[in-house]
Amino acid sequence: MSVLVNKDSKIIVQGFTGSEGTFHAGQMIDYGTNVVGGVTPGKGGQEHLGKPVFNTVQEAVEKAGADVTIIFVPPAFAADAIKEAADAGIKVIITITEGIPVADMVKAADYIKDKDCRLVGPNCPGVITPGEAKVGIMPGFVFKKGKVGIVSKSGTLTYEASDQVVKQGYGISTAIGIGGDPIIGTTTKEAVELFMNDPETEAIVMIGEIGGQLEADAAKWIKETGNKKPVIGFIAGETAPAGRTMGHAGAIVGGSEDTAQAKKAIMSECGIHVVDSPAEIGKKVAEVLG
């Protein structure tokens, strides 16, 4: 088992023939991901990277059986791309695009909430199930198959955590980069829940950052449901200067509970194994699973 994507996923790329879409789709195909085609309006019927190009997501669903999409559409059009995928019946919508206007994402999130789909992102590195499917921009060689699930707001820390876990002799079941924007599809709690329900995941690494309530919500849920699996937690941004805008639009401290110290305290109270530095993640996983 894995969560969200696996070797049987039929993946399309929205924004397939653009420079970003082309580069990362090529990397995904080289990794062995089951990319069944891509969507670029007006270029349907052509071939790109040896895969068919469709004019619409609906056409990709009907002709290629697509059930997962990855979106590399420019920010101004990305929210519409999300809606189009949801309308076409795509089950997992992974949105890499950063800089989507918040007002557009509010509308898109509301639009898809009653659809049978899961949005990951935007402004995220994607999702990888090692050895099966890389649906994103992460360096595939860092990830090895195993039993540790990773959920992270930060792309770089996703790779760092995975590298450490692998170097400790463990591997990754699936890694989910949820993104750092104010409006995202899959929350920390929802990603943790997926791993708690996955029989192949034995421990979870949860990487958050200053700003918002996502980590506190996840921690409280973990405690309420009985701490079924060990969770290792880290919060980035502890040394961020007060009032400074950081790289993620969601990393804005709005109150006393949004600080790194407060989040770490809540996580510890809820039974999460909190580390103070990303350099300690791998060792803590080994300690907890050893």
User: Binding residue per annotation — 95?
Assistant: no
Q: Is 24 a catalytic residue?
A: no
User: Binding residue per annotation — 111?
Assistant: no
User: Binding residue per annotation — 277?
Assistant: no
Q: Let me know: does 65 contact 7? Beta carbons within 8 Å.
A: no
Q: Which two tokens stand for residue 185?
A: 């599809």
Q: Of 73, 97, 98, 100, which Cα lies nearest the Cα of 84?
A: 73
What is the C-alpha separation between 198 and 127, in angstroms, rounded? 15
User: Binding residue per annotation — 18?
Assistant: yes
What is the four-CA torsion angle of 168, 201, 156, 97, rounded to 10 degrees?
160
User: Binding residue per annotation — 252?
Assistant: no
DSSP run (H or E) holding 46: none
User: Binding residue per annotation — 98?
Assistant: yes
Q: Let me know: does 156 contact 33? Beta carbons within 8 Å.
A: no
What is the C-alpha separation between 263 and 225, in angstroms, rounded? 19
Q: What sign has the CA pseudo-torsion 208, 214, 220, 222?
A: negative
User: Binding residue per annotation — 129?
Assistant: no
Q: Let me know: does 129 contact 266? Beta carbons within 8 Å.
A: no
User: Binding residue per annotation — 22?
Assistant: no
What is the C-alpha separation between 91 and 69, in angstroms, rounded? 8
User: Binding residue per annotation — 9?
Assistant: no
> Which entry of 24, 48, 248, 273 is annotated as an active-site residue?
248
Catalogue the active-site residues. 248
Q: Which residues are annotated as a binding site?
A: 17-20, 43, 96-98, 159
User: Residues at the annotated binding site for CoA?
Assistant: 17-20, 43, 96-98
Annotated binding residues for substrate: 159
